[in-house]
Structure 1
Amino acid sequence: MTDLIKTLESQEEELVLDSFDHNDAWRLGSHITRIAQEAKAGVGIDIRRPGLIVFRSALPGITADQDVWIARKAALVLRMEASSALVDARLSAAGVDAAAIGWLGPEYAITGGSFPIRVRGAGVVAAATASGLTSQEDHDLVVAGLRAYLAEGASK
């Protein structure tokens, strides 16, 4: 579990943006969507700031249930300011069942698939989320999209 936590923490240190606005949300979401389409993955993709969805994509094969999972994963990221996979790994390593002890209610999903959009000097400003695959695959999809976005030149 320690190696997984280190890997997830490293991703969060690596994937930091210089800025992020609605145009950036569109470009990032489009990267994630393109990667999912190439993989023929039926996923929902969402980028949201607190109280505002700034990108949404629904690929063939998803159900309304993915919308619920997206909202719950993103809520966890925006509250904890860490990827939902990292929160899950840290709680599991500590032997904590946050839902069972009433610490996190049903509006949060402690499972991979949502990643913080962190801006240098500002902190977490949004969450990018995928749902429809396994938790690890959802997480990996968002990370791949962020890497592609940064490789393209995030501040175009």
Structure 2
Amino acid sequence: MSTLPADPAAVEELTAQQEALTLDRLTHEDAWALGTLLVELARERALPVAIDIRRGPQQLFHAALPGSSADNDDWIDRKRRVVERYGDSSLLVGTRFRARGKSFDSDSRLDPARYAAHGGSFPLAVRGAGVVGTVTVSGLPQLDDHALAVEALTRFTGRG
């Protein structure tokens, strides 16, 4: 994965992906199970990632695996803020901008030191409640961060 999506078909695909991964609930135990699954996947592949799960402003899970750094925590915060602001995955938000021939960094009018529309943060939407939190992965190329979060959510929801 190297080319960033930038077309309306990619926007539709990423939107459908989000809709398919809606949760029935998000408890502390669910966050632990999802986070543990992400850690297991990353360890199996020796991936140098940091993982963060939040419900509202509360951090329910965080792990930093070997090879990750404090910079990954900063990326987590920047990507997570995009999801919190737009209600969509950080990759989808960036893709929407690119599909319109725009740059998120210059055209969103948001501070790029605080917001990054790079793949890796995914909204945790609960049926009947909307987006209630985020799951974020940082440490890989952005498409791979996104793919790891989606893989874990797909397994977690049993929809894969």
> TM-score with structure 1 length normalisation?
0.92
Alignment of 1:118-129 (within 5 A): 118-129=125-136
- Unaligned runs of 5+ residues in structure 2 are 1-6
Which deviations, in whole Å up to 9, do the C-alpha atoms of 1:75-103 show, x marking residues without a partner? 11011100000000001111222432462
Matched, 1:5 2:19: no
Distance 2:104 2:10 in 1: 19
In the alignment, does 2:84 pair up with 1:66? Answer: no
In the other structure, the counterpart of 1:89 is 95
Deviations 1:12-71 (A, max 9, x none): 010001111111110111111111111111100001133211100111000110000001
| Equivalence map 1:31-42=2 (5 Å) | 31-42=37-48
- Identity over aligned residues, as a percent? 43
Alpha-carbon distance between aligned partners in 2 of 1:140 and 1:81, rounded to the nearest angstrom: 18
Counterparts of 2:29 and 2:108 in 1: how far apart (Å)?
38
* 2:59 is the alignment partner of 1:53: yes
2:28 maps to 22
Unaligned runs of 5+ in 1: none
The answer on 1:116 being equivalent to 2:123 is yes
Q: Give the RMSD, CA atoms, in angstroms.
A: 1.4
> Aligned equivalents of 1:134 and 1:48: distance in 2?
22
SS in 2 for 1:100: helix
- Misfit runs of 4+, over 4 Å: none
Q: Which moved more, 1:15-24 or 1:49-58?
A: 49-58
Aligned length: 152
